[in-house]
Amino acid sequence: MTTAASITIKKADGTTDIVWTLLAASGGDSAPALWRSETAVGTIGQRPTFSIASRNNGPKTARRVDISGAFPSVYTNSTTGQTEVRGVIPFTCSFAVPTNISATDLNEAAAQLTNLIASTMAKTSVSTGYAPA
């Protein structure tokens, strides 16, 4: 089992690090681990969040890993001076991880699938809102 910790990733410029702060480790099955981008603008409730939860599937032949979060677009209202949310990009990703396959295959699938999500093509699809044509 992975030990929960804050996560450092690169921003869109590819060089600047940003830390997503661990708010809560998972308390067990179905209880999510939760992170928040504490350096993002806005109030605590307006900052981006990220969570990972896991549980057995019905027949206990796989572990379901659910990743989700929300990335709000926050701006300062020039009339009130208050930060407001213009819109939110919610996201979800779910994996059914079989319990009867080798660690080698699990490691390879984890690397390839998450790297596909992190690929330039996938990133561009998210930033434009369109699938590759």
Residues β-bridged to residue 84 = 75
Contact 132, 121 (CB under 8 A): yes
Cα gap 71→89, rounded to integer Å: 5
Burial category of 23 from C-beta neighbours within 10 Å (exposed 0-12, middle 13-18, buried 19 and up) = middle
**Distance between CA 54 and CA 28 in Å, rounded?**
8
CATH superfamily of 8-123: MS2 Viral Coat Protein (3.30.380.10)
Q: What is the CA radius of gyration of the chain?
A: 17
Question: In this predicted model, what pLDDT tens digit does every residue of 99-130 receive, in sequence order?
Answer: 999 999 999 999 999 999 999 999 999 999 99
Percent of the chain with pLDDT over 90: 98
Average pLDDT over all residues of the chain: 95
pTM: 0.89
The two tokens of residue 95 are 């994996």
Per-residue pLDDT of 77-86, as tens digits, reads 999 999 999 9
Query: Which residue in this structure is represented by tokens 């369109």?
Result: 130
